[in-house]
Amino acid sequence: MTLYDDTLTLLKELIRNACVNDLTPDSGQEIRNATSLERFFEGTPNVEITTLEPRPGRTSIVATVPGTDADAEPLTLLGHTDVVPIDEPKWTKDPFGAEISDGQIWGRGAFDMLFITATQAAVTRAVAREGGLRGTLTFVGVADEEARGGLGAKWLSEEHTDLFSWKNCLSETGGSHLPVTDGSDAVVVNVGEKGAAQRRIHVHGDAGHGSLPFGRESSIAKIGEVARRIAVADLAVAKDDIWQGFVQAYRFDAATEQALLEGTDPAAYEKFEGLAQFAHAVSHLTIAQTVVRAGQAINVLPSHAYLELDIRTLPGQTNDYVDDVLRTALGDLASEVEIEHLISEEATVSPTSSPLYAAIEKVYGDFFPDTPVVPIISSGGSDLRFARRLGGVGYGFAVHAKERTLGETLAQLHSHDEALYLEDLELTVAGYEAVVREFLG
């Protein structure tokens, strides 16, 4: 069998194991995929296998192929093995059937990110069978990524920091293309991701009987005004090189480019068409109002209400910065609210000057000659942030056919009828084999 055949066979098995993470501690049960991966490596020489679980069934697997030169740079491939839940009535395919039709493989996790995980494992096994390369290669099948890594990469980075190297890491996703206005091509590589600064805004009012509202301060009316003011907050556009490079890669007319880089015309984002929401997200602090709570009984005036905000920060935007933005938006209401911090994680970005990034650029250049490589940040999160926090670099890497735009690949994430083109699986297998040999060999 070819390396691609091995990868496809493993991918089918990983999808069918249905390791669904619904964010509860005992969901996921990634032990099924860890067992499949352990069996996949069984009998392979030159590979050291370790399995770990912080909670029964929440298993991560580490496969290490020692290098022949202790001083050579190491490389770690981080592939998560859990998937998000499904709404089965809205699928037209069996979500865990790994069906192949119309040139695609269908199923939850086919795109996010089991195709990369299977590729990483297959390439690691192939390198082990050859006896290894100069640098040490490690594959990690990680649990719990979809719940922000508390039982996976976060736990590994805190409790087993030295089990494998975090210095140079590859994970999801990268390798899709930008629909450049003049018809030319550009391929993207994920170099970072936004941070999280979740907030809960509390307000208080007067309690009382629902039949006697006159003269009482309504906590519901107050939280509504809080929500309105936050919704119209003036949020500054990014001024970093990544946003500038992303805009310039599109080759817009001068007026559009200026409006986007200076943040003078929100309507200019429509020029990105299907990527308008993504472009806005990676160029701004975003504040999504997602949960509001007040009251218990219909005949009781609630004295307390709260609003939850899913806030995503750009690199350099601290907790203090976020709180200042909120207080400025609230104006004279700021003194009447309590701002509670929930999950807070700073944005992380890796440089484009590292040897690993240079290897990625070379491989993309081999696949797509004379095509610019454009660094981008993700509006969501990945396990790569834990590598960056430990001083390493981390990049999202895959290879997609030129027809697969960034907008199309983003649309696959957590979608109904999730699918991956087999052509992209074949390209990604070749891409990982190339980048591993380029960097470690």
Instruction: With H, G, I as helix, E, B as strand and everything else as coil, classify residue 344.
Output: strand
Angle at the Cα of 126 (from 122 to 127), degrees rounded to 5? 120
Q: How far apart are CA 144 and CA 25, in angstroms?
A: 9
Distances (CA, A) of 167 to 16, 229, 390: 32, 43, 8
- Torsion angle of the four alpha carbons 136, 141, 147, 152, in this order, in degrees rounded to the nearest 10: -60
Contacts of 292 (CB under 8 A, 6+ apart): 223, 227, 305, 306, 307, 308
Tens digit of pLDDT at every position of the chain (441 positions): 899 999 999 999 999 999 999 999 999 999 999 999 999 999 999 999 999 999 999 999 999 999 999 999 999 999 999 999 999 999 999 999 999 999 999 999 999 999 999 999 999 999 999 999 999 999 999 999 999 999 999 999 999 999 999 999 999 989 999 999 999 999 999 999 999 999 999 999 999 999 999 999 999 999 999 999 999 999 999 999 999 999 999 999 999 999 999 999 999 999 999 999 999 999 999 999 999 999 999 999 999 999 999 999 999 999 999 999 999 999 999 999 999 999 999 999 999 999 999 999 999 999 999 999 999 999 988 999 999 999 999 999 999 999 999 999 999 999 999 999 999 999 999 999 999 999 998
pLDDT digit string, tens, across residues 232-278: 999 999 999 999 999 999 999 999 999 999 999 999 999 999 999 99
- Is domain 193-345 given the CATH code 3.30.70.360 in the classification? yes
What's this model's pTM, rounded to 2 decimal places? 0.94
Residues 345-395: tens digit of each pLDDT: 999 999 999 999 999 999 999 999 999 999 999 998 899 999 999 999 999
Distance CA 169, CA 200 (A): 34
Q: Which of 133-145 are b and which e, b meaning 16 or more Cβ less than 10 Å from the residue's Cβ?
A: bebbbbbbbbbbb
CATH architecture of 3-180+348-440: 3-Layer(aba) Sandwich (3.40)
What is the domain partition of the chain in residue ranges?
A: 3-180+348-440, 193-345
- For residue 108, how many C-alpha atoms fall within 13 Å in the half-sphere facing its CB? 23
The answer to whether the CB of 288 falls within 8 A of the CB of 311 is yes
Distance (Å, whole) CA 27 – CA 348? 28
Distance between CA atoms of residues 343 and 385, nearest Å: 15
Residue 413 CA to its chain's centroid (Å) = 9
